[in-house]
Amino acid sequence: MKKEDLRHGVRIMLRECLGLIPGEDVVVLTDVPSYEHFSSKGGRELKLLQLTNLLAVTVKELAEEEFPRCSFSVFPFPYEAGEDFWQGEALTQVQHANVVLALTNRSISHMPVCREMLKLGARIASMPGFLPDMLLENGPVMVDYATMETAGRKIEKALKQGSSARLTSPDGTDLLMDISSRQVINGAERISGKGAFGNIPIGEVFTSPKEGSAVGRLVVKARWYPGLDEDMVITFRDGAVSGLSGGGSVGRRFKRLFELTGDKPDAVAIARRNCAELGVGLNPGADSVESVLEAEKIWGTVHVAVGDNSGFGGVVSADIHQDLVIPWPTLTLDGIPLIISGEIVGVPKPIERKMT
């Protein structure tokens, strides 16, 4: 893919998603793996690490063609939630940014400096796992934002008014959750207001189920999570993961994270098991499952996350937040259908999605 192929997508991202205007300061962030981490990886993961860093450089170069007050900042990967790496001149640079593009391998949302920048009025786009294809003509950045925002407001209102949510799917998902009186985040809105934070691509509305309420099972279909080559079944009881079957190597990794094979999980594993999020995808240009960042935005899908929910109304702090996307779902709120087999009730999927 050539640099020229991404130019228009970068322009739309900066102008339309983030409302960037001439004279504002923009910082592109990326996390660079250590030599030890880089040399220990192989295959798809190594390719994605390289791609993230190269894409960040390319976006910075394209951005400064129109917005010359654009700079670049790097920090190490991997890192733990809560760590910060900016000091001295680097700290001053990010603190004075009007817009921050975090093209990283891991989300910066839990970094203290991120919260400080938001307090100062910066607009921050968190983009972990962002791929170049997302900037192409028919990708999830080149969409009709006004139409998506209208749909987002309908879903936001429904989630705010709902109490009991039931999620089912043709593959066997059947999960009940209590969402009454919970904060609802409208991530289908453009990140253009002072102190705004969100993902790019834009396009989800989500909430956090009440801790202890989720019960049932979630069936994650093969290919709908990176590296997942067979269906994975996760069982929930009392708001937390209680069992897991299938999923091949991905399932085995999650079992280790949840410590489902041990006799007594520690506090870290217990926090990871938390049913953290219920979200609806609303981006009509999203269609790839290669990155969870895009897959969770696919129009008419529903995603459920495990782990941390402390950033959007919950009380569980965990070192992971993993979204699991369910295609062709049916979602009812207090028995009233909001989504039926992937079709949002009363909101037809936009036919025209190209952004010019």
Evaluate if residue 356 carries a pLDDT over 60.
Answer: no
Considering only the C-alpha atoms of the chain, give the largest distance between any 2 of them, rounded to a whole number of Å. 58
**Confidence category of residue 90, pLDDT binned at 50, 70, 90:** low
Residue 160 CB: number of other CB atoms within 10 A?
16
Q: Is residue 351 part of a domain?
A: no
Same domain, yes or no: 166 and 47: no
Q: Percentage of residues in the chain with pLDDT exceeding 70?
A: 94
Span 152-199, pLDDT tens digits: 999 999 999 999 999 999 999 999 999 999 999 999 999 999 999 999
Q: Is residue 165 part of a domain?
A: yes
Same domain, yes or no: 209 and 177: yes
User: How much is the mean pLDDT over the chain?
Assistant: 91
- Count: domains in the chain: 2
Q: Is residue 68 part of a domain?
A: yes
Q: Of 155 and 90, which is predicted with more confidence? A: 155
Query: Shortest CA distance to 273 belongs to which of 312, 228, 226, 239?
Result: 239
Same domain, yes or no: 129 and 152: no
Q: Is residue 354 part of a domain?
A: no
pTM above 0.75, yes or no: yes
Q: Is residue 80 part of a domain?
A: yes
Query: Shortest CA distance to 148 belongs to which of 199, 196, 108?
Result: 199
Residue 253 CB: number of other CB atoms within 10 A?
12
Q: Is residue 350 part of a domain?
A: no
DSSP string, 277-297: EEEEE-BTT----SSHHHHTT
Same domain, yes or no: 130 and 175: no
Q: Is residue 245 part of a domain?
A: yes
Q: Is residue 156 part of a domain?
A: yes
Same domain, yes or no: 207 and 270: yes
DSSP string, 136-147: STTSTTSS-HHH
Domain range enclosing 184 = 145-344
Residue where a domain stops, chosen among 103, 135, 167: 135
Strands 174-178 and 336-340: unpaired
Span 43-86, pLDDT tens digits: 777 788 889 999 999 999 999 999 999 999 888 877 665 566 66
Count the residues in the chain: 356
**Sheet strand arrangement including 275-281:** 184-186, 204-207, 275-281, 302-307, 321-326
Return the CATH number at 114: 3.40.50
Same domain, yes or no: 199 and 289: yes
**Confidence category of residue 224, pLDDT binned at 50, 70, 90:** very high
Residue where a domain stops, chosen among 92, 107, 135: 135
Same domain, yes or no: 103 and 179: no
Residue where a domain stops, chosen among 100, 135, 170: 135
Q: Alpha-carbon distance 165 to 179, whole Å?
A: 7
- Cα-based torsion angle of the residue sequence 114, 118, 120, 123 in order, rounded to the nearest 10 degrees: 110
